[in-house]
Amino acid sequence: MVSARKKLFETDGIRGRFGFYPITEDFAEDLGWAIGRLLAFGSEESVILVGRDTRISGSILESFLVKGLVASGTSVELLGVISTPAFAYSVKTFSAEGGVMISASHNPFQDNGFKLFGKNGEKVSQEIEILLAETIGQKKGLSITENSRATVRYCSDWEANYKNMCEAHSKAIAGLERLKIIVDCAHGSNYKVATSILKSCGLQVEQIGCEPNGYNINSSVGSTNPSRLSAAVIDAHAAIGVGFDGDGDRLVMVDERGEVLDGDDILFVLANYYLSCNRKLGGVVGTSMTNLGLERSVVDLGLGFERAEVGDRFVMEKLNERGWTLGGETSGHVICRDIAATGDGLLACLQVLSSMASSRRSLSELRKGLIKFPQVLVNVLVVDKVKVLEEAVLKKAVEQAKETLGDSGRILVRASGTESLIRVMLEGEDRKHINLVAGGVVKTIEEINTRIS
């Protein structure tokens, strides 16, 4: 039962290359029917929201997903191109039974996927994923008959709804009028809304990565490719740069010197900001990838710190469990639980800008105090990530690396949740040493991959 889920669902929903199972028209139709039956109970009075990012395949998958939903007897509201955070907020505020966001996030345009949300605006539980995995494919010969009463309508209300919410959390930015900011939307979902909201705050906004054509999403731009943003900040003498990923749930920032701040840096800035405003915090949740330097800095602030599995859903689960407010991933998923039910790059950006406004300090000054351990991350392309991780020789190599690092560092070897990669992360006080240790582990993985190919 659990294995069926694992074969289908990854860290963040279902994802893969368009045209290959499970990212096909037929699967989208089957998924739509299963979602309609499980989340909306096949009732035309129940509504499932559907959104997508800017990929060329998005509208194709959307049409087949909707066919399956309507065949199940469920009504649909189409939100069009929308960021994942705005979509999650819409699911919650429009009283929908759930929603499907068609996106492959930071992946290239050839990929696509399905992110599933419950009526609370949070990612569906693993239990729901198991039920969906069991239900998909049970209904044969999907059809819409004359007795169907389900409806499909386009909804544009989400944009004003989401803007109003963001602007309500941007009032503290007053005083930063005419501040020059470079915004990189990765040619993705945020290309209109994010720039519009930031301009409404009085900021002087310059844009890159805001011309989507269906094929250029995340291509040499965005949160996973911040070098262009960094250069643009320096060239324009801007005060800050903001880089989103293709569906807007990730964020990196660039300070006035062109230095890139990842999710760990942003969490440190926000933890200090929350404390300065006496906002409820309790502690910070990171993941197994979070830099040890952030953990120690958070503890030094008198806060708790815990690690969750990689994936913003698991961070949110841990925050809910502890009753804490702030959490996120090094990759740039940042959750401000007091104002959002999922990672939201734009809301996190607004909170950082609010910190700059209230403290009258630059972004580089706000980041001071966080001393990060040297860290190396190597992604190794493999044919079968599960088989590689099960190899005894790799487990032995990892144990030897742990012994070598001792208390002065740590190693994490895991499969990517979205790609056919093994990620090797090492952290320690001596960069030269961890590079050497990482090289040995990577070589072992490459040898295993060659043998099983």
Check if 362 is active-site.
Answer: no
The span from the CA of 183 to the CA of 205, in Å, is: 7
Question: In this structure, are residues 9 and 115 in contact, taking their beta carbons and an 8 Å threshold?
Answer: no
Question: In this structure, are residues 210 and 312 in contact, taking their beta carbons and an 8 Å threshold?
Answer: no
Euclidean distance between the first and the last CA atom of the chain, given in angstroms as a whole number: 28
Question: In this structure, are residues 415 and 422 in contact, taking their beta carbons and an 8 Å threshold?
Answer: yes
Q: Is the dihedral of CA 344, 251, 52, 422 positive or negative?
A: negative
How big is the chain, counted in residues?
A: 453
Smallest Cα–Cα separation from 283: which of 302, 269, 311?
302
Q: DSSP string spanning 297-349?
A: HHHHTT-EEEEE-SSHHHHHHHHHHHT--EEE-TTSBEEETTT-SS--HHHHH
Smallest Cα–Cα separation from 177: which of 350, 345, 365, 357?
357
The span from the CA of 427 to the CA of 435, in Å, is: 9
User: 121: alpha, beta or left, given left = phi > 0 and alpha = psi -120 to 50?
Assistant: left
Quickly tell me which residue has 């030094």 as its tokens.
Answer: 300
Candidates 46, 57, 105, 170; catalytic one? 105
Beta bridge partners of 13: 10
Which amino acid, 25? Answer: E
**Active-site residue set:** 105
